[in-house]
Structure 1
Amino acid sequence: MCPKIQPRRRGLRIAAWSLVTVLLAAAGLVGVVLWQNSYAMDEQRVSIRNGGHTLNGVLATPKDGRKHHGLVVYVHGDGPVGATHDDGYKPMWEANAKAGYASLSWDKPGVAGAPGNWLDQSMDDRADEAVAAIAWARARPDIDGDRIGLWGASQAGWVLPKIAAKTPVSFVIAVSPAINWLQQGRYNLLSELRADNASAARTDAAIATSNARLRLLERRATFEEYVRAMGDDAKGMTADRWGFISKNFTADATQDLHALRGIPVLLTLAGHDINVDTADTERVYREVLDAGGALTVKRYPDASHSLLKQSIEQSERRTSLTALFSPRSLFADGFLDDQRQFLKAPGRAGQAALSVAEGVL
């Protein structure tokens, strides 16, 4: 009987050690995830009064032992964005913390239980919201009111200069900012069609649909009128979204950018941006701001509109795995460090970076 029992016991031992190995590997992976998603900063939930509403925010502060920090105020792009942008902001907040800066962000109205509806907002409403947050921050003893600046991406390009016109800011970091709403929309439409290898007939039809939508916007058509006029092409549009577009489709940052003259501005642009015409954005920023001598332009050839590495963003699976195991690696090479260096001395560092950028371009 013994010869029959021994192989079974040996098999059980092998299975047990295999299970132990798997559990140890799993524990190691969990440890890596926890370590990679731990950041060198402290975070606290805060409430900010904005008129009759409350902004639900997050304040991330450096762990440097100091009691007084500069502040980077985050202005979101389009969409229902929460305070941490699904933790996507945290690598940037950590870079800010290493430069001695706190970071402040909040849920858009209607997001994560916040009161209101972000689709009811104009760009001026969004600017007023940020001004209220800055006033709140200036009243805090742990924030240096003379070192408060802005960070904003994409749609925030229409909001950042409006904020600077309403309250003093020390610097601006503009990430893939748009200039003109309608021009950006057409650029995005054509870029997506090209990326999809669309036929000439499909391209012409898409342009015709876009033109018809613009005519409805120009005559301030109601959502019901829009649905009747567009038929099947109205699918995917909601009444709230139509209202949001109707409020903001005339947005153009060109004149508002004059409010940033003399303020250190870091303009970061992606090499693979299908949302924003980066050449036009850079041209306008240089025309309006270069005279003040405080503009820094940094280009990231391997980046997408969100300044993530295009090679990663193209794959949903790779994006998820990188976000889990190495979130700082999501961003284009140099993007986080460039922002940290800019914050250390926005004026002097900006001029040095600009000289380097001009030598490369």
Structure 2
Amino acid sequence: MPSDPEPYEVSFPGGAGVLTGSLAVPERDGPGVPGVVMVGGSGPSDRHNDAYFPPIRRHLVDAGFAVLSYDKRGVGGSSGDWREASMDDLAADAAAALGFLRTRPGVRADAVGLFGHSEGGWLVLRAAAARDDLPWVVTNSCPGTTPALQERHALATVLRDAAASEQVVDETLALYDRVCEAARRGAGFAEAARLVESAGMPPALDGHWAGMDERMWRFLGRKQDHDPLPDTLRLRCPHLALFGGADPLVPVAESVQLFTTTACAPGRHPAATLTARVFPGADHRVRTDSGTRLASGYLTFLTRWLTGPS
């Protein structure tokens, strides 16, 4: 068997102009290889998703998959600005990457699916909803809740880990709720900043508020009530939902329950099976040993499922 190639630079049309990324297509005899589009998480994620994607990509390429990952709008060589986009816009970019990979020589157009990490999971579910031409969709550490509820859970985790008093927990979460409500009713960034400043900027809120500006405030306002469940209800292909059992950012048990509930909904498409896998002790990137390696069995399980989801 020939050695598999390294990824090479590609570009293709996206909703805001041009998207750039990396593509690796293994050389195999036969009609072509299946493919995976990898979609990164929140913030200015690039094609490598902060070094998280390369080991997964290498494993998938070695297993015979063509793999495409790309820079989010305004990151790397990609046009536009992700902070000016909506979730629908970003999902459309994932769909554009899917369409591009399907046209590549040596790739089976009917065997290309979507893999989304964290926020990318919401995006691939939106891109996959109601399509009849996808073999599967994978969400990796993707909450089954809205972003607002997911961030609230993450904030509560920070407070719990810091051994904050019950009063501090209640006051900080109440402030978070007021900020979310301000965004929900269209308040400007200046009003939101006054809310936070008048509360003395609780230290636990630093991670959520750091780097906040007018553009980020508007983006989070558009994003915060995005609900993935209607998209899962409209799936017409198998769905694999992967989680780390010790993920501090995602309400894992609730997310598994929510995805399972939608999988049991009357009228769900018969091809829309659900496989949920939780890796005990693993973090948001499904890693163990203080984040130094992917959870034992993660890569093997992923490729086995991709070659025959049911």
CA deviation map 1:182-220 (0-9, x unaligned): 221221111111111112232122112112202211211
Q: SS state of the match for residue 281, structure 2?
A: strand
Name 2:240's counterpart in structure 1: 266
Equivalence for 2:56: 92
Aligned to 1:20: none
Q: TM-score, normalised by structure 1?
A: 0.75
Name the counterpart of 1:299. Answer: 278
Residue 235 of structure 2 is aligned to residue 286 of structure 1? no
Alpha-carbon distance between aligned partners in 1 of 2:10 and 2:149, rounded to the nearest angstrom: 37
More helix by share: 1
Calculate the TM-score normalised by the size of structure 2.
Answer: 0.87
With 139-148 and 59-68 compared, the bigger mean Cα shift is at 59-68
2:194 counterpart (221, 228, 232): 228
CA distance in 1, matches of 2:287, 2:53: 12
1:103 paired to 2:67:
yes
2:158 to 187, 192, 205: 192
1:296 counterpart letter in structure 2: T
> Which residue, out of 13, 18, 28, partners 1:49?
13
Note if contact 1:71-1:149 (Cα within 8 Å) is conserved in structure 2.
Answer: yes
- 249 and 274 in structure 1: CA distance in 2 versus 1, 3 angstrom threshold: same
Question: Given the alignment, which residue of 97, 100, 122 partners 1:136?
Answer: 100
**1:13 aligned residue:** none
What fraction of aligned residue pairs are identical, expressed as a percent? 30
C-alpha contact 1:73 1:105 (8 A) present in aligned 2: yes
Of the candidates 282, 287, 296, which is equivalent to residue 333 of structure 1? Answer: 296
2:205 corresponding residue in structure 1? none
Asked which structure has the greater CA Rg, the reply is 1
Report the Cα distance in structure 1 between the residues aligned to 2:16 and 2:140, rounded to whole angstroms. 30
Specify the alignment match of 1:345 in structure 2: 308
Q: How do residues 149-298 of structure 1 correspond to structure 2 at under 5 angstroms?
A: 149-165=113-129, 167=131, 168-179=133-144, 180-231=146-197, 233=201, 236-261=211-236, 263-290=237-264, 292=270, 294-298=273-277
Task: State whether residues 52 and 285 of structure 2, in contact with CA within 8 Å, keep that contact through their aligned partners in structure 1.
Answer: no
How far apart are residue 66 of structure 1 and its match?
5.6
Answer yes or no: is the 8 Å Cα contact 1:181–1:251 preserved in 2: yes
Deviation at 1:243, TM superposition (A): 1.3
**Residues 166, 139 of structure 1: alpha-carbon distance in 2 compared, 3 angstrom cutoff:** farther
Q: Is the 8 A contact 2:35 2:67 kept in 1?
A: yes
SS in 2 for 1:97: helix
Q: 1:46 to 1:236 in 2, by over 3 A?
A: closer
Residue 31 (structure 1) aligns with: none
SS at match of 2:104: coil
Mapped partners of 2:179, 2:75: distance in 1: 28
Q: Give the Å deviation of 1:278.
A: 0.9
Counterparts of 1:286 and 1:334, CA distance in 2:
23
Cα distance in 2 between the residues matched to 1:108 and 1:213: 27
The equivalences for 1:51-90 within 5 A come to: 51=15, 53-64=17-28, 68-90=32-54
Deviation >3 Å, runs of 4+? 63-67, 232-236, 290-293
Single out whichever of 198-207 and 288-297 deviates more from structure 2: 288-297
8 Å contact from structure 2 (residues 115, 121) kept in 1 = no
Give CA-to-partner distance per residue, 1:86-125, whole Å, 9 cap, x none.
Answer: 4321211122123321111101112124322111221101
Answer yes or no: is the 8 Å Cα contact 1:99–1:341 preserved in 2: no
Shift of 1:153: 1.4
Q: Unmatched 5+ residue regions in structure 2? A: 202-208
Q: 1:79 to 1:268 in 2, by over 3 A?
A: same
User: For 2:81 and 2:196, how far apart are their aligned partners in 1?
Assistant: 25
1:235 to partner: Cα distance:
6.1
Aligned counterparts of 1:211 and 1:152: Cα–Cα separation in 2: 28
Determine helix, strand or coil for the equivalent of 1:282. Answer: helix
The amino acid across from 1:101 in the alignment is: F
